[in-house]
Chain A
Amino acid sequence: MSTEFVDNDRKPVGYGRMLRKEDPRFVRGKGRFIDDVQLPGMLHLALLRAPIAHGRILGVDTTAAEAHPKVKLVVTGAMLAERGLAWMPTMSGDVQAVLATDKVRFQGQEVAFVVAEDRYAARDALELIDVEYEQLPAVANVRTALDPAAPVIRDDLAGKTDNHCFDWETGDRAATEAAFADADVVVSQDMVYPRVHPAPLETCGAVADYDAVDGGLTLWCTTQAPHAHRTLYALVSGLPEHMIRVISPDIGGGFGNKVPIYPGYVCAIVASLLTGEPVKWTEDRSENLTSTAFARDYIMHGELAATRDGRILAIRTRVLADHGAFNGVAAPTNYPAGFFGVFTGSYDIRAAYCAMTAVYTNKAPGGVAYSCSFRITEAVYLIERLVDCLAFELELDPVELRLANLLRPEQFPYTTRTGWVYDSGNYEATLREALRIADYDGLRREQRDKRARGELMGIGVSFFTEAVGAGPRRDMDIMGLGMADGAELRVHPTGKAVLRVSCQTQGQGHETTFAQIVAEEIGIPPADIKVVHGDTDQTPFGLGTYGSRSTSVSGAAAAMVARKVRDKARLIASAMLEISVADLVWDKGSFAVVGDPTSCVTIQDIAMHAHGTGELPDGVEGSLEAQVHYNPENLTYPNGAYICVVDVDPDTAVVTVRRFVAVDDCGTRINPMIIEGQVHRGLTDGVGMALMEMIAFDDDGNCLSGSLMDYLLPSALEVPDWQTGFTVTPSPHHPIGAKGVGESATVGSPPAVVNAVMDALKPYGLRHADMPLTPSRLWEAMRGNPQPPV
């Protein structure tokens, strides 16, 4: 990893390494997060949550809570039902209770809320609400959710007699079966991708401020998609959309957790409507971990068909998906399994088929894109583990097996057997770069020596292809909203600029990256470009930040709006220099007369002229600004090769990740420092999921992972010094060739870690053990007793 960076005094005008513009306010404690929002007269809301996973509500007595001297309002599900607000649509065609009316369906479900003068009083008053439950048997085990005898969770849905949520399939079943029938070798493996949680350090929250005089609602909210949320609030509440302003201020991490609309947001709005005062709701850590959107929770059975010499012919998988009590998946409408359809991975596979069944259980709803680009994490884990299982069976080196099957550069654009059009890639070069950095052959020699001494060292490889930047409007929408993003650029008279974008940063460094994109196009230094985001009244419409779509969609919009401004600047320059447009040459930041570099005008000169009184060309208006709305033509497909080196203590089964090499190809690189930061985060995430993270439940559906002492996040002590590298294969259809990188490392790293651990345990004859590979679980596997975590 390079530790060099260009000092901000010498920062690039355009792409390159520079410190983040937003960081001074964060390192000085001047960030403004939801909980920093203070309004005059603001009240505080606390949610009462279900203590049990499944139970009928027999009665709710709020008398004592209402008598608390500081309590202003107590609202139950029944009261919301009177206003038609007890249920709300989810982003995937289901409904979810805002406050439970009939039953509670997961532990931690919202049952009632209290609004009080301060947050302590609101919390205290929750204990004064008396809810009588008739406890029902809970469906805590996804594998038995469809048993005829299982209690029906969703009896709110008319005619519902089981816990079936949806079926989904992709690929060609017949062709795949034929390929399997002819294959020399078939490997099959059951594997679980456990339920994990995005666990942003800032929990979710909102401040709702309804102005009864003008009828306007301002909602400060932890949302990754302020514009989409505004539209949904308008559609659901009936408030006119132009009177709703959603502000997403500084966000302390999203990772998909802040894509859905949570009952707490709706309750805050209702509370402000009913009290006429601003109302703040901030969830606590346990509420965040137990009630907000989880990710993964796929039980997968995967199979690969191959020739004896290691040519992969076909892949087939069955998936049982645990969606919790409500289907709260945040994914484009026609993609109930997100982009899991890319499970053919990075390989030239001739046939593929997936059949998925999703079920309801008495667990928290969700299924968000937790740094996974809509379920690609699960897909990549499946194929990358299967490839290692095949290597195990064929006694082939996993790198050789991958090299023999990776897509070749001349195959791009490549249409997979499940219909995805990969835009570009040079997979072999990317993998070879990782092998070079890691000194793969040297590692294998070291491993041989160590094995001879009884030491357990493992080398794990993964290659991933991501599909990000959702998405083309012909294919993709969320609740009917096309997944395009807008950008507006204004260059002020003095040549300083403001870029307004519809995506929203949660730590990704947009205020820097997008300024650099514009700087690259129009030659105004990034320091002179302010990036405005996260406020629906201040920015053009667009669908927000998730699925690594900011650079791939909004980044494209930023480049195109800058080009639009540059095109106008060119016309103005021609008037200023009294020369035809064809005789102008653009040198980042100025137009000069061809062959006469001294005769030139800078973008700053042009900006002043555009706003001044000087001559303008025919048909050109004053000012220097433009707006675009970018509809992506295709997704972009970042990819990468990861190599993980672990040591396993043969006696305690403790895994140490000793080295990790990550070579990412995200196309054009805008700010390498920010890319590396994103990759470091995702790799840490991957180590966490592979080794320790899991939202666990007991047989009664009680969540066992309600604090960060129980839900383990990795720290700096669990991860090595990351070694990053890159190749650059630009996206052919993206205006600047950038592909996005935010989730790549989260997607690519878990299989590399697990593959490394399994490689270390080869002397035990062990082919697979499920995440999380905690010492205890791994030790059980080493003595021949690998157990799935669910």
Chain B
Amino acid sequence: MVLLTILKKLKQKEKEMRLLMLGLDNAGKTTILKKFNGEDVHTISPTLGFNIKTLEHQNYQLNIWDVGGQKSLRSYWRNYFESTDGLVWVVDSIDRRRMEDCTKELHSLLQEERLAGATLLVFANKQDLPGSMTADEIKEALNLDSIETHHWRIVGCSAMNGDNLLAGIDWLVEDIGARIFTLE
């Protein structure tokens, strides 16, 4: 019995998840990451390349990769697909103009074999701004209901004031946890 608890504890320490955060440029990926990590969100530059943060959350160690969304950087996204447990797709809820572009990019990602096992969380960001599309509207626009290959959920959030970020990540971690760490 004692041995079992020790083993369990050891196992818990290894609980590591790799989350990949993608989306068009100006969606607020870096802002979400920084807010989640409790850093200042007012002096963020457009991401040239990527940021990585490792955080402890719900007894899991989360490695969050935030990759730049600039058009010319999107071809490099595939370099980060390997062993991704969760995909966080960030949408700028106010940018109706590029919603089509956003849908196209997301669906082409979901075709990707190396992301086949990943859970998808869509963050409808910038909900604090007047005139932003609601999470439901974005669900329609991105045609999320057509996704059958991945577990997915959409969460309206605001990276600037932190609303709902935790709720989204909690769901993602639980879903991945239930999928991967149910061996015991």
B is bound to A? no
**Which B residues are closer than 8 A to A by beta carbons?**
none
